[in-house]
Amino acid sequence: MFHAEKWAKAFFAVSDNNADEVLFYLKIFVPQVKRIHGAFFGHSASAKLEKVLLESAGSAGIIETTPAALYAIRFVCLLVQKNCFKHIDLLLARIEQMLDEHKGILDITIEAASPPDSAFEEELAQMIREKTGAAEVKIKARVRPELLGGYLLRIGSFYVDASLKGQLEKLSADLNQAAKSAHGGV
């Protein structure tokens, strides 16, 4: 079982105050590694990968200018060595989430039948900043036509269903319950 939390904590322990920069370089190196076909893991695969990435970054002049690139390469190679690279997308999402938490940035997702306009998004972000004290609010919008209207709002594990579909489903359940009660609970 992969433990994204443990790996994310290891990432922060290694990158220390350079986490943003190391993450930047991870996002550069990860697609290169993903393009390699076939399964590879273990110490020898990791050593070969490190050599390739170091040569690639060295020829671009990256390694000489920042230790963050070297941290990113070694982190990717450790994931390969431990056969955990296949979970990189999950890990990158957790690292970004932890970075945002550290900076006081709140990620929210709004799902709506049609794309929300920017005025609504800004008003929503302002209200959430005021209510939560977040330094910044990042809004990810998803279009889900089946909601019919309104929106679903997710803030971490907090969930608000203000969709027309959700209201119709609740109304239907309430009517069914009332009908059962009226007929003696049948």
For domain 104-182, give the fold. hypothetical protein PF0899 fold (3.30.2320)
Instruction: Please report, as a single letter, which amino acid is at residue 86.
Output: K
pLDDT for 174: 86
pLDDT tens, 27-72?
Answer: 999 998 888 877 678 888 888 888 888 888 777 666 666 788 889 9
Cα separation, 24 vs 6, whole angstroms: 20
CB 92 within 8 A of CB 26: yes
Q: What residues does each domain of the chain span?
A: 4-100, 104-182
Give the pairing of strands 150-155 and 105-112.
antiparallel
- At 113 the three-state DSSP class reads coil
pLDDT for 49: 86
- Average of pLDDT values for 128-147? 89
pLDDT tens, 76-117?
Answer: 999 999 989 999 999 999 999 888 888 888 888 999 989 988
CB 57 within 8 A of CB 69: yes
**How many Cα atoms are found within 13 Å in the side-chain-facing hemisphere of 117?**
2
CB 82 within 8 A of CB 88: no
Pair of tokens at residue 167: 């209201």
Q: Which residue's entry shows tokens 């230790």?
A: 67
Give the pairing of strands 105-112 and 136-143.
parallel
